[in-house]
Amino acid sequence: MKTILKKLFQQICLLGIFLVVSQSYAQDKLKISGNVSSETDTMPLPGVSVIVKGTNNGVSTDFDGNYTIEAPTNAVLVFSYIGFKTMELPVNGRTTIDLQMSDDVAALDEVVVTGYSSQEKKSITAAISTVTSEDLESVHAGASVSSGLAGKISGVTFKMPDGRPGATAAIQIRNMGDPLYVIDGIQQDAGQFNNISPGDIESISVLKDASAAIYGVRAANGVVVVTTKRGRKNTKNVVNINSYYGGQNWSRFPKTVNDSYVYMSKKAEADLNEFGETQITNEELEKYRLGTEAGYKSFDWKNFIIKKDAPLYSLNVSTSGGSDKINYYISGTQLKQEAVLGPEFNFERNNIQSNLDANITDRLKVGVQINGRIETTDNPGIPGADDYWLPRFAILRNRPFERPYANDNPEYLNDIGHNETNWALHNKKIGGYSTNIWRVLQTNFSGEYKFGGFAEGLTVKGMYSYYIADQVLNGHEYTYDAYTYDAANDAYNATGGSSNPWRERRNRKILKNVYQGQATYKKSFGDDHNVEGLFLVERQEQRDQNQWLRSVPETNILPLMYFANVVEFQDADNEEARIGYIGKFNYNYKEKYYLELSGRQDASWKFAPSKRKGFFPSGSIGWRITEEDWYKSIAGEDAWVSEFKIRGSYGVLGDDNIGIGAYDYLPGYNYNTGTVVLDGQPIVGARDKGQIVDNISWFKSKITDIGMDFTLFDGKINGSYDYFYRLRTGLRGRKYDILIPSELGYGLPDENVNSDAQSGFEGALSYSDSFGDFYLTVSGNASYSRGKFIESYKPRFENSWQEYRASNEGRFNDIRWGFNTIGQFQSQEEINNYPVDIDGQGNRTLLPGDLIYEDLNGDGRINGYDEKPIGYNFGKQPSVNFGLSIRMAYKGVDFTADFSGGSGYSWAQEWETRWAFQNQGALNTIFLDSWSRQDPADPNSTWVPGKYPALRYNASYHSNYRGGQASSFWMHNVTYLRARTIELGYSLPKPILEKIGLQKARFYVNGYNLFSFDNLSKFGIDPEVNDTNGLQYPQNKFVNVGVNLSI
Amino acid sequence: MKKYIFTILLALFLALGCSKNDEEFLDRPPSSILTQDQIFTDPSAVLSVLGDLYNRYEDFGRLDDWASLADFNIAYWSEAGRYPAFQNDGWGFGSWGIWNYGYIREINLFLERCEEATELEASLKTRFLAEARFLRASYYFEMVKRMGGVPLILESETYDFSGDASYLQHPRETEAAIYDFVISEAEAIKDILPTDADSKSRATKGAALAMETRAALYAGSIAKYGATTPQVSLPGNEVGIPASMAEGYYTKALTAAQAIISGSAGAYALYNSKPNLSENFEALFYDKANNPEAIFVEDYKVGGGKTHYFTGWNQPRFGAEEEEGGRINPSLQFVQSFELLDGTFAPLANEVGGNPVYYDNIGDIFQGRDARLAGTVILPGTTFKSKPVDIWAGIVLADGSIVSGDSRGQEKTLPGGTEQVQVVGFDGPIDGLEFTAQSGFYIRKYQDPNTGSGRRGTQSDVWFIRYRFGEVLLNAAEAAFELGQPDVAAGYLNQVRARAGITTPLTGADVDFDRIAHERYVELAFEGLHFFDLKRWRLAHIVLDGNPISEAEVTQNIGEATKRETQPYSIWPYKYHNPGDPNDGKYLYKILRLSRITGADRFQFGNYYSEIGQDLINNNPKLVRNPNQ
């Protein structure tokens, strides 16, 4: 098999050379010409595809809708154009065939990009959803493509926990894991996908089921296929300008007390609650209340740090068009997004996209696609790995009586004792800088040859893709002084700061080569049997070189790094290689019964040579009931169900991302396992690699999908519904029926023995209609997907409790365990008489308002045995996702409203959102609603109930908080529905356009994320935030104004 | 043909893409993996593997885990996240357990492969082999200290996938057998290893003997004092050593120690380089250039890729290079256990007859004590890296009320004043404010006085001393004392005490158990040894008995080995503010227990030997559990 495939591949390569010299056959044909126009407005239609049925012989209409084609006298011509019904007309010896095409609302003949090819929508037998440029255009949700996909695609789950400039959203297909991205035929990662200019995307197809198997190697979690825009043959040159400018503000963020008096009174109350005494005297409190003396004033840190209406701006200029031989699309985009932290925190991206296709002869077509970008993330150099962390942390850390500048003199950074959170430091002047630039270029060269004669229907295609990405990161955190003002001597004394300079640079280059050879064969036998076959060979290789060095420079000034100051250097060089052989076969009978079979043999460098290969077959069938004669006869001509298709698919997909290193199969020693200093000399360590892993291979992912597509009421309603079940077998696990003494020194290697499943359903429904000049489209989708662990290999449990607690067998994944809070103590008396030891200290640390945990096992104590399931996953995708979109247009005015939501995940209050004064810092305002004594200073005064337990000072250890252990009081199962795009646009009418010489001019105002309905608003937390301390950079609310011009 | 050029190029690209066969295409050479062959033909590669084994040497206390050096209430941990350690009442049975047979296996593999290597020079090979045996014995020593007797695996084994792994099940050896193994290995390798007092970071004859004397001393004391706690033993002697063996072990301990003291293992001596004895004791730990005292160390190198952040975590917070520091706060009890220079014990004189004593200078109260105090602890009124520390808790007014603040160096207006003045030190202490000197003290031992040592980006390369001459002397003293040679013991103790500036030498009659224990307590504090002293003398359950310490009790029974250590106490300096009064501007001191300290540690009998987990017993049913768990 191997050698046959190899030979075949080589022959395809040779064929590529052979094409160059091959000649096409001449044949006796009729020359037919005509004009194509639109039925509704009788305007000529340029770019309509005219094909001789059953062949690849075709042309396109020109600017005026005219075409000329040669065809046998008995041929049938197929006219197709996006948005119109495809028509088939027999030639019958005519030499002139004019045609008016009618709109096709259902767009059944719309072409959908699938694995390595494209198909008409009606013939699709797999679960594939698409979203087109039109759906994406009005979304201005940030800088990345993924951030705009909320609720857009049925079955694609969405969560955007972080909204900083350049941020991306987490998207998954059916919650199956990180999907594979394929951009213009080349497998890429999420980073490439996110940084395409959204305006350059023609369509995004999401392969959700076994149809992804054709991408084999990394397709087990589904595939996102992106196609960029191309020019159309025989169309006029058009220049499009799309630009918008907007302002961003945080959707939500925790609020803190910014009044020194309130802060200090609450701290005194916390001290009194916990220790019965406080150092804070009434005289002092009075000074805080007056707030006039130095040291007693109030300062609003959030207001100091957060800027309003941070700008987001984008300009896209593109031009496209084509002659009968050449078509092109060239585009440039600039995008700049600033953070609410100010202009020094920003993300900027410049993209170019250039897609050219040329028909050298009727049969030979070549193309080149170039996409490139420069991506710059720039901000002040701030201590810590994430430069955006401390500014946010500062809001919850800095107390209101602390001030940024000594004696309020902006020349002197104030020593507040924790100066890293002093925002006055977080700028390029004092703090330093960090600039990360990615320069990326991808170029695809392709050649395609259509055979004629005996090989009519056969097309061979070759593609070579070269990709280079270059990263340069420069960072420098400066040394700085922080001052204390000495009022007596009017002096500023340096009492704090950092003398640690941190200068780093990363140089990284990623190079990729992809080679594809492809042969397709398409033929109709008679009128009934339509056959299509595809064979493809793909080789991919990647090399990633990464150097990082760090120095301790003498000064903050010099930009270069010097050997004498370098203290750290890291070097990495890693390669990857994958090979795939793909075969696909499609058959349909009278476009009524469909069958698709495909298989892919994949090999990955990651596994031991004997385990490298995997074979991944899949198949699907479809039945268009509405094409049956008996249906037509029963339903009649005007059936309200105009299209109904049942389809099913099954396939095996592979995943080589199984959590092992690339060379785990090789015995030997890892070099560079640390440095040891022996006799004063640093020596690079080397360590035995240990038990090799040469028995592990692909995860196998078996996806079953049953679905249906339907069209009702003459295309006004379209819908689809899918049920799916993905069983993954061969997950890594251990065989625990043989226990190996730990004294052996190594464990049994993992084997491919465990299994899990992901199942769910999804549906989409759309309605569109027009009432005179009023157009309306309403569409929605909803999906549910949740994972379950199926079984491990003969699991062992020490006892039934351990089985209850630790077993995963047959259980849903991501169950959160914790204590069950059954109430709050209402009085000291209740505490004194309570039979269960809640705090492990005889309840002596408890006060009214403190949490009562359920003693599940009734042993009178609260410990690990009292935990039970209390929540869903957190930090992961929602199990339930839904989206709703409304579009209206009346004459020149258009309106869009999109909503999306999610449910079936959890968020827990922890750290700053769980206990007051975390880090001895600011007071989160949610704790103002706490249990407290009427007079905090009087231990005998009555208790006033509140939502939260009585205040303590930074008492994470208290039983209410249990050091951050989960409990149902702090766990929230989230459901949200939020407004995404809301846009109002106005297009200038034609007469005015003609006067000013434009084809299109549209102006709009647009809002994104303007409001949300959810159950986290009371904590000041965005519903998609993951961080339990609430400190994540949340999504923004956007308000934009924009313009679309076509010249 | 011109227009076909592009296509030809394309075809060439494709041809290039498929010029290799599949296997060639998929074979990508790793960039950082060496084969066994490549390793064992190249001495520098062998040293890399051996170096990695050195790097995984198991220490109980580590510089890169600061808390491990300052546990058991000898200090307070001034870091908010660690306060719970002072609120609970003890330790789980699994605490301090280790069972890293993966490391043992790697050493065994190294020994086997190195033995087989034919292309290594013989002298190099024997040294490598002896070093690996030293590391293996060291790890077994560490295991027996924590777990008791363990299975003794001296060859790499392999599971044959037969479905029956019982042939791999080895029972625990007796505790004595493991100690015997450590001692016999030391004896076997000591003359193969170099006799070189300048080689500190690799195994030498001195290191082997130092390990031997410590191991034998531990075994001897377990045999002797184990008799006081018969419940801490197992019938198969996996835990517990028969009392009859004590004398033999003590003899070996003394012999091995004397072999070092006599100079037969190299020119080791007490460090004595600086005229100021406190500075001398401090420098003993950071001076790497001229240090005859260090025998075996874990070394670091700034700019060499191996550093630690001990100084950054622990240096005085005021003036620190980062916003860090001040974590280890030595306890009042520890500070006052240092003798006066005449060799007598005395509490810190903060009160006389219930009235405060006023001192002119903030550090005066600590004067006249064992030089090791100021060498081990940063006291108020002293400096670090030439910067004075600013440790004082507030201002006491004439009426006895206190003005203080809750942030470092806070300023307030005093009654009757107009200007704001500082009312608390930049180093605190402030109760509950992490990184301030909450006990009134910071640690000095192991801190690096070099510029940059407290920077995250530079860090420190002060080495960690695992064995030093001072400990050898104390081991010899203890062994001699237990063997009934108090005069010999006094001689060794006096060497150590003279270096600490104590003016009155001990006589044989002065030497009792408390003396031996005390000397180890103050000399070896924060070196990871105190805990094992408490365990082997079977004092841990007495010293850590779960009872809180009253304020009165703090100043009593100083110097006694059984003094309770369940909670650390603090002593805070205050400035006295009473214009016109003769004591105005002077300092007074208050003893207190921090508010975060609510628990009192209790060491259970089941804590003497760490738990052998159920998972280990499931895997090997021949393992017997440790007692009292």
Q: Which two tokens stand for residue B355?
A: 């009235």
Min Cα distance B603 → chain A (Å) is: 18
Pairing, β A1036-1046 against β A235-250: antiparallel
- The confidence band for A83, taking pLDDT boundaries of 50, 70 and 90, is low
Nearest to B407 among A294, A417, A488 (CB): A417
Residue/partner pairs of A930-935 with CB below 8 Å, 24 or more apart: A930/A849, A931/A824, A931/A847, A931/A848, A931/A849, A931/A850, A932/A269, A932/A273, A933/A269, A933/A272, A933/A273
Amino acid at A23: Q
Token readout for A501 is 């300079």
d(CA B229, CA A828): 44
Residue A286 and residue A290: Cα distance in Å, rounded? 6
Q: Judge: A739–B618 Cβ closer than 8 Å, yes or no.
A: yes
Distance CA B48, CA A165 (A): 45
For a pLDDT cut of 90, what percent of chain A falls above it? 66
Beta carbons of A957 and B47 less than 8 Å apart: no
Residue B459 has pLDDT above 70, yes or no: yes
Is the minimum CB–CB distance between A688 and chain B shorter than 8 Å?
yes
pLDDT for position B492: 98
pLDDT tens digits along B577-597: 999 999 999 999 999 999 999
Q: Find all residues with CB under 8 Å of A283, minimum gap 6, and list them.
A: none
Q: What is the ipTM of this complex?
A: 0.94
The minimal CB distance from A688 to the residues B7, B109, B404 is found for B109
A533-555 residues labelled b (16+ CB within 10 A) or e (exposed):
bbbbbbbbbbeeeeeebbbbbee
Write the pLDDT tens digit of every residue in B524-567: 999 999 999 999 999 999 999 999 999 999 999 999 999 999 99
Helix, coil or strand: residue B486 = helix
Residue A845 burial (CB < 10 Å; 0-12/13-18/19+)?
buried
- How far is the C-alpha of B220 from the C-alpha of B246, rounded, in Å? 4
Residues A971-992 have pLDDT tens digits of 999 999 999 999 999 999 988 9
Q: Which residues pair with A187 in a beta bridge?
A: A182
Distance of CA B135 to the CA centre of its chain: 18
Within 476-505 of A, beta carbons closer than 8 Å to B belong to 484, 487-488, 495-496, 498-502
A771-799 pLDDT tens trace: 988 999 999 999 999 999 999 988 888 88
Rounded-to-integer distance, Cα B604 and Cα B606, Å: 5
A·B CB contacts under 8 A:
305
Measured CA to CA, the distance from residue A599 to residue A594 in angstroms comes to 17
Once rounded to an integer, what is the mean pLDDT over residues A515-541? 91
CA dist A672 and B55 (Å) reads: 12
pLDDT at residue number A111: 77
Distances B183 to A503, A547, B254 between C-alpha atoms, Å: 49, 47, 13
- Number of neighbours of residue A35 by Cβ within 10 angstroms: 17
Would the CA dihedral through B99, B102, B104, B105 be positive or negative?
positive
Q: What is the C-alpha to C-alpha distance for residues A493 and A412, in angstroms, rounded to an integer?
A: 10
Look up residue A427 and give its amino acid: N
Mean pLDDT of A734-740: 86
pLDDT tens for A530-584 read 999 999 999 999 999 999 999 999 899 988 999 999 999 999 999 999 999 999 9
Is the per-residue pLDDT at B476 higher than 80? Answer: yes
Instruction: Evaluate if residue B61 carries a pLDDT over 60.
Output: yes
Q: What is the pLDDT of residue A966?
A: 87
Residue B507, token pair as written in the block: 């006589």
**Alpha helix segments (H runs only) across B449-570:** 469-482, 486-499, 513-523, 530-536, 540-543, 551-554
Instruction: Report the pLDDT value the prediction gives residue A218, as an integer from 0 to 100.
Output: 80
CA atoms of A226 and A205, how far apart (whole Å): 6
Amino acid identity at A468: I
Residues of chain A in contact with residue B165, where contact means CB-CB under 8 angstroms, are: 738-741, 744
Quick one: tokens of A87?
Answer: 């028509």
Which chain B residue is nearest to residue A399, measuring alpha carbons?
B407
CA pair distance B245, A164, nearest whole angstrom: 69
Contact A61, A48 (CB under 8 A): yes
How much is the pLDDT for B123? Answer: 95
**Is residue A516 scored above 70 in pLDDT?**
yes
Task: Report d(CA A592, CA A576) in Å as an integer.
Answer: 43
In this structure, the number of other CB atoms found within 10 A of the CB of residue A1015 comes to 14
Please say if the pLDDT value at position A6 is more than 70. Answer: no
Q: Could B101 and A742 be called an inter-chain contact, meaning their C-beta atoms sit closer than 8 Å? A: yes
Q: Measuring CA to CA, which residue among A511, A509, A466, A501 is closest to residue A480?
A: A501
**Cα B164 from chain centre:** 42
Please say if the pLDDT value at position A8 is more than 80. no
DSSP string, A736-794: -SS---GGGSSPPPPEEEEEEEEEEEEEEEEEEEEETTEEEEEEEEEEEEEEEEEE-SS
Least confident of A273-282, A375-384, A531-540, B236-245: A273-282
Cα(B347)–Cα(B592) distance, integer angstroms: 14
- Report CB contact under 8 Å: A574, B302: no
- The answer to whether residues B371 and B377 touch, using CB atoms and an 8 Å cutoff, is no
CA atoms within a 13 Å half-sphere pointing along the CA-CB vector of A168: 14
Q: How many CA atoms lie within 13 A of B332 on its CB side?
A: 30
Q: Give residue B360's region: left, alpha or beta (phi > 0; psi -120 to 50).
A: alpha
- Contact of B103 with B49, CB cutoff 8 Å: no
Gap between the Cα atoms of A740 and A758, Å rounded: 33
Torsion angles phi and psi, residue A600, rounded to 5: -140, 130
Contact between B409 and A495 using a beta-carbon 8 Å cutoff: yes
Name, of A148-157, A293-302, A950-959, B141-150, the range with top average pLDDT.
B141-150
User: Does residue B491 surpass a pLDDT of 50?
Assistant: yes
Q: Does A293 touch chain B (CB under 8 A)?
A: yes
> What residues contact residue A93 under an 8 Å CB cut-off, 6+ apart?
A30, A73
Mean predicted lDDT score pLDDT of chain A: 90
Chain B's closest residue to A669, CA to CA, is B34
Residue carrying structure tokens 């509140």: A946
Six-digit token string for A595: 């069958």
CB-CB neighbors (< 8 A) of B45 in chain A: 669, 686
Token pair 């200078």 is found at: B361
- Tell me if B226 sits within 8 A of B241, measured CB to CB: yes
Question: DSSP 3-state assignment of A162?
Answer: coil
Q: Within an 8 Å CB–CB cutoff, is residue A671 touching chain B?
A: yes
Q: Contact, A381 vs A431, CB < 8 A?
A: yes
Q: Which has more pLDDT, A50 or A310?
A: A310
**Nearest 5 degrees, angle CA B53-CA B56-CA B57?**
95
> Residue A1001 belongs to what H/E stretch?
strand A1000-1008
Is there a contact between B124 and B40 (Cβ–Cβ < 8 Å)? no
State whether A675 and B434 contact (CB < 8 Å).
no
**End-to-end alpha-carbon separation of chain A, Å?**
56
Q: Show the 3-state SS of A227-291.
A: EECCCCCCEEEEEEEEEEEEEEEECCCCCECCCHHHHHHHHHHHHHHHHCCCCCCHHHHHHHHHC
User: A404, A414 in Cβ contact below 8 A?
Assistant: yes
Question: Are A418 and B151 within 8 A, CB to CB?
Answer: no
pLDDT at B601 exceeding the cut of 80: yes
Q: What is the pLDDT of residues A14-40, one digit of tens each?
A: 444 433 333 333 346 788 888 888 776
pTM for the whole thing?
Answer: 0.88
The answer to whether B3 contacts A295, with C-beta atoms less than 8 Å apart, is no
**CA A638 – CA A628 distance, rounded (Å):** 15
Tokens for A481, please give them. Answer: 């002084």
Strand intervals (E) in B174-327: 294-298
Q: Which residues of B touch A575 (CB under 8 A)?
A: 28-29
Q: Give the CA-trace dihedral at A52, A57, A60, A61, to 10 degrees.
A: -50
